[in-house]
Chain A
Amino acid sequence: MGYIIGQNIIRKEAFNKVTGTAKYTDDFIATGIYHADLLVSPYAHAKIISIDISAAASAKGVKKIITGNDINVLCGPLIDDKPPLAKEKVRYHGEPVVMVVADCEQNAKAAVAKIKVNFQPLPVVNSVSDALKENAVLIHENLQQYKKNVSDVYPETGSNVCGHVKIRKGDLQKGWQESELTIESNFTLPQSDHAAMETRAAQCQIMPNGRVIVCSSTQAPFSVKEQINKTFQVPIEDIDVNVLFVGGGFGGKAAVQLEILAYIAAKAVDGHTVKIASSREKDMITTPCKIGLEAKIKIGAKKNGKIIVAEMHYNVDCGGYADIAPRIAKAIAVDCAGPYNIENISCDALSVYTNHPVATSFRGFGHTSLSFCIERMMDKLGAALNIDPIEIRMINALTEGCYSPTQVKVTLSNTGNFGECLNKLKTLINWHEGQRIVESNHLIRAKGVGCFVKTSDSPTNAISGVLLTFNSDGSINLNCGAVEIGPGMKTTAAQILAEKLKMDIGRIQVKMEVDTQTSPVHWKTVASMTTYMVGRAVISAAEDLIRQLLNGAATILRCTPEDLEIAEEKIFLKTDQKIYLTFKDIVHGFQYQNGNSIVGQIMGRGNFIMNQLSYLDKETGEGKAGPYWTPGAQAVEIEYDTIQHTYRILKAATVVDAGKVLNPKTVKGILMGGMCMGLGLGTSESFIYDAEGIVQNTSFRTYKMMRYGETPDYLIDYVETPQLDAPYGSRGLAEHGIIGIPAALANAISLAAGIDVTKLPITPEQIWQQKEGVRQ
């Protein structure tokens, strides 16, 4: 260990990205291809009375117009509840209704403008609480008739609930009896957007021999393949999905939508290549966004600060269709108590249909939302008992030997050392100077804390694989099915291989593109699992190579494989390093002086499959949802103006138990990016609906994200408790920078302004309203 692990390695594709030569899906410019554009619903809930395409059909360049009535399929990853184009009614603002295929983008758009759809508005379900009311309007009247694609999703007939996950741990009644105080609170978090800088795009061609060639900006090419297969009964071997660089994903490109539409479009024009690329406005509402949440949490504790019991209701706003939201609700349930040990828990996590845009996975997979609720509760508990916020977290910290809400035993390897993260955070943000400091007669400096644990919530059989081939000079090609969406995972894979073979990383070439025909299957590039899954497959493939290299070299050097060692592209005798073969001598076959040859081409195969994971019990939630947790503690320091109710963010800090930091600058960058995004959620990012469920802010002019100069000083530190089954001990952390930040900000503002923040984002108006409300 220590050959290259822990060093700053510049990403392999770096110079391609600073010269504009790195290609993304929509950079495929070709003449003669067709373009598709969508007419989307201007209503959140409405009946489609009629569609008049006559004027559009004869418009310039139009090749085909497709409506929901032309397609008799329903699709979805968990529940088949979604027509690719709306049929009979629309369920959210922005839902695709009609697709036009034309010879160029301009003509497609012009034709869309000529389509007339007659809608009859229906009552709108504009919030989770509306959706859960007795006699609520049903968004899916035929919920019970939908086909489920997995066994462990439980829609509730006659309601708007498309999934229900239950956690029952310990004895609730006993917990309440032993409690000396209870704290209860409700929380509301809005939907928001991924806002990856590259909008989603897909194209499809169907070859005369039946092959379906898709190119897409996706995090999940193998899911695209499966969903096209499942939805249209195209043989799976005929579907090939290609992915170039992806311009940011954040979970939003793990959902499959445009690929289905591109297939439908290509099929309608005899297989001709059709491209569909979202405008920014459609990327925000037509394609999936982040969940909203309404939660109600009640905790009971002893006067010493120890939480005894918790009763929690997390209701996820999944929008008009289920997509992956029931899995997000599951992830929330699995980690419902945050990084704290609570013996007695009842948690119900519902995924609820509303007439909002469809939600899918988003960085943190529900954990940012659940963390907001739990971390506000921790501060409220601390305040009620006059216990310091970090101390109250320390008292309840998840430690070795505890059991998670789903009753998995916590070890240092599988959960790291959360307490140590808190300790380091104290130093990092200078906690001892005080949490609330009055700077002048109207400026207050305040610090808030927010913490997390997160596991993968992957399928129990998620797989990954790696193929290694040699070039004739002994350099290696690495091929895996993970998509390079930004965090530099392909470079990390090369780094793990270089460490294992003790060779120069410059001599390892990584295939950046994914092609499902030739790349080994990788579940999805999500859940901060890539380094773990691909890394394990890399090590397994390297061991396969090493075995072949040693066996081959042993014959040639007339010794046993055990006598040999590998480093710097050489296989040498342990006892005499001057006796060796180079990779170059052997990897494409060794040739003796008389021409005889042996060994042949050496190739490495490595694979990984999740082990020991299980489904959650339907009634108690008992089960193992991920291979490990990554814990961390975060803080935000603000300066609050008591007159204006404005605030500046001075510092954002993260301490994460990384297990082992493989590539320090890359890891730091990912954590800073996560913190920045978390501050966006905390300060401004949210979909704003009118009374009819119409999203009001569908552009970057009105949907505000953090810009240069608005960000704080970032402070980062690590705990390194090795995860025993991970590559070089390293835990996943690509999502984690975001998770505790909105909570930390809310805690800082609550303290500084003397208010109780239970909603995001936190605007000066919101603070002012709460302050004025108190006065009245």
Chain B
Amino acid sequence: MLAFKDKSIISLNINGDNVTVMVNPSYTLLHVLRENLGLTGTKPGCENGDCGSCTVLVDGWPIKSCLMLAVEAIGHQVITVEGLKNAPIQRSFVENWGFQCGYCTSGFLMVCHALKNIHPDADDFIIEQWLQSNLCRCTGYGEIKDAVKAVLENKI
């Protein structure tokens, strides 16, 4: 079992790069991404696991980074919105008007991107199960639905 006490230097793999950061064991992954690494594309929304704004991918799976300690990410591949690099879902959100204020967008992009990779044949039920993890307050989810479907149907 890993044990951390007081400030510790840890190595994380973020967007394909190995980075070394000094953390308190209590720091969340969200905190370290934003405050230590300046990756502010990952947004805090509730820091309680309810809104999904801070979603990142850990080994390809969407994880709410406010609910994961940074030290728990050691040995895993973390991808943030900054690591998407022209993924089809990004263009699809733009072309389908999938956001307004843009604050929840990173989280939705990460969930949709993982969905496409893990369930390329996802039906409406699976899409719903996955996307219910996140909240958007500007759109009525209609355009987000269009955006994720366009990617699943390889139209982007």
**Residue positions of A touching B, CB distance < 8 A:** 10, 13-24, 26-27, 29, 106, 195-199, 245-250, 279-280, 485-488, 665-666, 668-670, 672-677, 699-701, 705-709, 711, 714
Contact = CB atoms under 8 A, between A and B. Distances in A.
Nearest to A8: B97
Nearest to A247: B103
A672 B137 CA distance: 11
Contacts of A701: 48, 50
A197 B104 contact: yes
Nearest to A665: B97
A711 B131 CA distance: 13
A592 B109 CA distance: 54
Q: What does DSSP make chain A's interface, helix, strand, loop or mixed? A: loop
Contacts of A674: 140
Nearest to A20: B41
Contact of B138 (A21, A27, A486): A486
A197 B40 contact: no
Contacts of A27: 34, 40
Contact of B136 (A21, A197, A665): A197
A17 B84 contact: no
Contacts of A673: 100, 137-140
Given A197-B135, A708-B144, A700 B46 contact: yes
A618 B104 CA distance: 44
Interface string B136-150: 111111111100000
B17 to A, nearest CB: 16
A247 B101 contact: yes
B46 A247 contact: no
Complex A-B, nearest 4 residue pairs according to Cβ-Cβ distance, in ascending order: A20-B41, A247-B103, A676-B140, A17-B102
B82 interface: yes
A139 B136 CA distance: 36
Contacts of B106: 20
B70 interface: no
A248 B101 contact: yes
28 contacts: A10-B95, A18-B91, A18-B102, A20-B81, A20-B106, A21-B41, A24-B43, A195-B137, A197-B43, A197-B45, A197-B101, A197-B104, A199-B45, A245-B101, A246-B101, A485-B101, A486-B102, A665-B97, A672-B140, A676-B139, A707-B132, A707-B134, A707-B141, A708-B128, A708-B132, A708-B134, A709-B132, A714-B142
Contacts of B141: 676, 706-709, 711
A677 B142 contact: no
B107 to A, nearest CB: 9
Given A199-B45, A486-B102, A708 B53 contact: no
B80 interface: yes
Nearest to B136: A197
Contact of B143 (A18, A196, A669): A669
B51 A700 contact: yes
Given A18-B105, A197-B104, A699-B50, 6 more contacts: A17-B102, A20-B41, A197-B103, A280-B45, A486-B101, A700-B46
Given A29-B34, A247-B43, A700-B135, A711 B142 contact: yes
B41 A19 contact: yes
B40 A18 contact: no
Contacts of B131: 707-709
A19 B81 CA distance: 6
A401 B99 CA distance: 41
Nearest to A23: B40
Contact of B101 (A198, A199, A675): A198
Contacts of A666: 97
Interface string B59-98: 0000000000000000000001110100000110111010
A670 B80 CA distance: 28
B100 A488 contact: yes
B139 to A, nearest CB: 5
Contacts of B94: 10, 14-15, 18
Nearest to B39: A20
Contacts of B138: 197, 248, 486, 669, 673
Interface residues of B, number: 52
Task: Give the one of B53, B90, B131 with max A CB within 10 A.
Answer: B90
Contact of B47 (A29, A279, A485, A675): A279
Task: Give the one of B84, B131, B136, B138 with max A CB within 10 A.
Answer: B138
A13 to B, nearest CB: 7
Given A669-B143, A708-B134, A711-B140, A700 B48 contact: yes
A645 to B, nearest CB: 23
Contact of A196 (B35, B99, B101, B142): B101
Nearest to B134: A708
Contacts of B93: 18
A280 B46 contact: yes
Interface in B25-52: 34-35, 38-48, 50-51
Nearest to B37: A29
Contacts of A669: 97, 100, 138-139, 142-143
Contacts of A18: 81, 90-91, 93-94, 99, 102, 105, 109
B69 to A, nearest CB: 14
B93 to A, nearest CB: 5
Contacts of B82: 19-21
A343 to B, nearest CB: 38
Nearest to B84: A19
A280 B145 CA distance: 26
Contacts of B81: 18-20
Nearest to B103: A247
Contacts of B140: 672-677, 706, 711, 714
Contacts of A700: 46, 48, 50-51, 135
Contacts of A486: 100-102, 138
A699 B46 contact: yes
A248 B35 CA distance: 23
B41 A677 contact: no
A638 B94 CA distance: 32
Interface string B109-134: 10000000000000000011001101
Nearest to B131: A708
Nearest to B102: A17
A674 B82 CA distance: 30
B134 to A, nearest CB: 7
Task: Give the one of B131, B132, B137, B139 with max A CB within 10 A.
Answer: B137
Contact of B105 (A17, A29, A670, A711): A17
Contacts of B44: 26, 199
A762 to B, nearest CB: 19
Task: Give the one of B90, B102, B103 with max A CB within 10 A.
Answer: B102
Contact of B53 (A10, A197, A677): A197
B39 to A, nearest CB: 7
Task: Give the one of B43, B53, B103 with max A CB within 10 A.
Answer: B103
Contacts of A245: 101-102
Contacts of A250: 137
Given A700-B51, A708-B131, A20 B100 contact: no
B142 A20 contact: no
A156 to B, nearest CB: 36
Contacts of A106: 24
Nearest to B83: A20
Nearest to A280: B46
A672 B142 contact: yes
Contacts of A246: 101
A24 B105 CA distance: 13
Task: Give the one of B53, B97, B135 with max A CB within 10 A.
Answer: B97
A333 B16 CA distance: 59
B56 to A, nearest CB: 11
A42 B20 CA distance: 41
Nearest to B130: A708
A674 B139 CA distance: 8
Contacts of A247: 43, 101-104
Contacts of A714: 140, 142
